[in-house]
Amino acid sequence: MRLDRALAQWLPGELGRDLSKSAIRRLVMAGAVLLDGRPVRRPGLPLQAGHRLEARIDLARTFPGPGVVEGGPAIEILYEDAWLLAVAKPAGLLVHATADRRRPDLFTLLRDALSARSGGRPVSEPYLGLHHRLDVDTSGVMLFTIDPTANASLARAFADHQVEKVYRALVARSAVVLPDTWIERTPLALAGAGRRARMRAAAGGLTAETAFTIRQRLGAALLIEARPAGGRKHQIRAHLAIGGLPILGDTRYGGAETIAGAPVGRVMLHAWALRLRHPVTGTPLEIGCPYPDDFRGLLTALGRSLDTPHASR
C-alpha cells in the first residue's frame, strides 16, 4: 500500500475529522510523517509489512479553527476543514487584486497566510478557489475552497442557487407602512460607468429577486434581512433603493450619511450567513459572521439588542 493511502485510512480516525488528499500530501511534504523513526517526504512510497508510521501533527497549526489571519487587516477565520475556508471579510477590503497593486485584497492576504502556515515547504503554491464576491464596502462571510476537489460541486451549488445567502442591512425608516416581509422582483440593468455606475429598474434588464424581512424597527431606522435569489451586481442595494429604502451610507443609491445624529462611515450591508450542503461530504453547513464593530456600534446607538450567528455542521 502507498504511504498516502495508508495515512488516509489511519489519520481521520485518530484526528476525528476528514482529511483531503492534498492535506495528507502537505503533511508528508512538511516532514510530519515518520517511517521507522525517520521523516519521509514521498507520498507515493510503497510500504512493507512491519514498517512503523508516526505522524507528528500540531493540531492548532494544521487545523487552527477560529482565529485571525495576520499580515494585513485583521481577518477572522469563521470555519475551516480539509476542503473549505470561510472568513469574515472586513469592510473596505477588496476581494481580489486590481491593477493597483498597492491596494490590499482578501484573496492575496489569505493565500499568503496559507503559504506562511505551511512554512513554504510544499512543492507548489497553496491552492485557494474563489466562488463568490462581496462589494468592497460590504462586510461579512466569504467562502473559499482550499482543495480543488471541492470546486466543481461548490461552483454548481452557487450557479444553481443552492447556496442560501443571508444579509443584514440598516436603512432609514420610511414614512410608508411596510409589511414584515416582502419580495422585490425587478428587471435590473447597469447605467453609467465607473464610480457612478448603478443598477436601475429597466424593462430590458435581467429580472432579479430578493426576499426581505424586517428584523427590527429601531425608531429612526430598520434592520432588514435580505435573501437574494441569484447574485446580480448591487442587487440588494438596488432593490432597497427602488423600494424607497436605500441602505445607510450608500450614497450611490441615495443612502443617508447620518442617522439619529450618528455618522455612517460606509454602506451598512453585512453578509450575515451562508447555508449550503458541504460540497464533498454532503452534510448541511451553516456559516455565520458576527457584526463588525462599526455595524454593531450603530445598532447599539439605535437601541438594538445584538444577536450572534454561528458556524455549524
Active-site residues, by number, are: 135
Q: What angle in degrees, to the nearest 10, is found between the helix axes of 3-15 and 21-29?
A: 100
β-bridge mates for residue 225, sequence order: 168, 213
Q: How far apart are CA 1 and CA 286, in angstroms?
A: 37
Q: How far apart are CA 3 and CA 5, in angstroms?
A: 5
Q: How far apart are CA 170 and CA 217, in angstroms?
A: 10
Q: 270 Cβ partners below 8 Å, 6+ apart?
A: 138, 139, 140, 167, 168, 169, 289, 291, 292, 295
Which cell is 287 given? Answer: 456559516
Which has the closest alpha carbon to 10: 79, 57, 64, 42?
57
Q: Strand 84-89 vs strand 75-80: parallel, antiparallel, or unpaired?
A: antiparallel
